[in-house]
Amino acid sequence: MPFSVGGPLRGGDEEHTDAKIATEVIRLLRENQDRPFFLACGFFRPHTPYVAPAKYFERYPLEKMPIAEVPQGHREAGPAAAFASAMKVQDTMTDAQRRQAIQAYFASTTFMDAQVGRLLQALNELKLADKTIVVFLSDHGYHLGEHGLWQKMSLFENSARVPLIIYDPRAKGNGKACGRTVELVDLHATLADLCGLPAPEGLDGKSLRPLLEDPNAPWDRPAITQVSRDTPTITGEKPKGRPALMGYSIRNERYRYTEWGEGKQGRQLFDYQTDPNEWKNLADDPMYAMVRDELARQLHDRVAKK
């Protein structure tokens, strides 16, 4: 397989990298509990290889692991760039390998989640929970066979959408889910606002404080996601035989509209109200022409401002 699946490891949590990270962060919390602090903690899991202590694998029996459905002819319908992720290995894997990969991914995610739990427990024990803003996020989503793709680097929902949890002990909306569409670039403005600090001028993001107070508050900012295809690498080398192109996607609460190569290499429009799996591309459907054109206008306006 093109990527290492991983598997169960010997030993307890404390012997593995993410547990060691959590232990160090807890030490820093203790040392700085009497003064203001900003502390960022990054975990490796569930990045490949998907490894974790064996007990986490026991929670996910192989025979119960779900295999993503991919409709016949789905990828062939294109656009080709939408399915050009280097991690497209669905056709080379057996069902047993797919279940093994998904089991390992679930197990490593649960292991990481346990370390997050340790940090939250430490905040309580140190009596910091009622005066600390906590943000939990991931840098990207993940494919586990959906659309015939694995890992990241697509503009489908599985890759472009990330978990984002913000807890401010003063916020009235704590414990409630928010259905508004936001971006990770909103975090800078949000944390500055919550901490009473001036945010630099020209930030791309907007403070999410109104949504922390009322998750149903009005909000009219869609989210933009960008993926490159065949662009020069960090070494300056350019893939031979293929022109570079960029994919841009705009997502509001109901729709996602995507353009590859400014639309010349294909367009996609998905209605999550009727098609949560993104199986039907509506970009050329006359019934959705007004929706497509309006989202295209918004996308072009946002990209032009970058």
Using 50, 70 and 90 to split pLDDT, how confident is the model at 52?
A: very high
pLDDT digits (tens, 9 = 90+) for 20-51: 999 999 999 999 999 999 999 999 999 999 99
Range of the domain at 194: 182-220
Model pLDDT for residues 228-264, shown as the tens digit of each residue: 987 765 555 666 666 788 999 999 999 999 999 999 9
Same domain, 202 and 238: no
Given a cut of 80, whether residue 74 has pLDDT beyond it is yes
Residues 213 and 226 in one domain: no
pLDDT score for 305: 77
Q: Is 44 inside any structural domain?
A: no
The answer to whether residue 116 sits within a structural domain is no
Domain count for the chain: 2
The 10s digit of each residue's pLDDT in 5-26 is 788 988 899 999 999 999 999 9
In the predicted structure, residue 133 carries a pLDDT above the cut 90: yes
Q: Check pLDDT > 60 for residue 2.
A: no
Does 88 reside within a domain?
Answer: no
d(CA 95, CA 124) in angstroms, rounded, equals: 43
* 186, part of any domain: yes
**What is the reported pLDDT for 238?**
61
Percent of the chain at pLDDT > 70 equals: 92
In this predicted structure, the answer to whether residue 112 has a pLDDT above a threshold of 60 is yes
Are 209 and 239 in a shared domain? no
Query: Cα–Cα distance between 101 and 92 in angstroms, integer?
Result: 13
239 and 271 together in one domain: yes
Q: State residue 93's pLDDT score.
A: 86
Structure tokens at 7: 């598997």
Q: What is the pLDDT averaged over residues 81-90?
A: 74
Q: According to the model, what pLDDT value does residue 241 have? A: 61
Is residue 294 in some structural domain?
A: yes
Confidence of residue 211 (pLDDT cuts 50, 70, 90): very high
pLDDT reported for residue 239: 60
Instruction: Report the predicted TM-score, pTM, of the whole model to 2 decimal places.
Output: 0.92
Residue 2 lies in a domain: no
Task: Tell whether 214 and 284 lie within a shared domain.
Answer: no
Is residue 196 assigned to a domain?
yes
pLDDT of 1 above 50: no
HEC string of the chain equals CCCCCEEEECCCHHHCHHHHHHHHHHHHHHHHCCCCCCCCCCCCCCCCCEEEEHHHHCCCCHHHCCCCCCCCCCHHHCCHHHHCCCCCCHHHCCHHHHHHHHHHHHHHHHHHHHHHHHHHHHHHHCCCHHHCCEEEECCCCCEECHHHCEECCCCCHHHHCCCEEEECCCCCCCCCCCCCCCCCCHHHHHHHHHCCCCCCCCCCCCCCHHHHHCCCCCCCCCEEEEEEECCCCCCCCCCCCCCCEEEEEEECCCEEEEEECCCCCCEEEEECCCCCCCCCCCCCCHHHHHHHHHHHHHHHHHHHCC
Closest C-alpha to 248, from 273, 284, 223, 271? 223
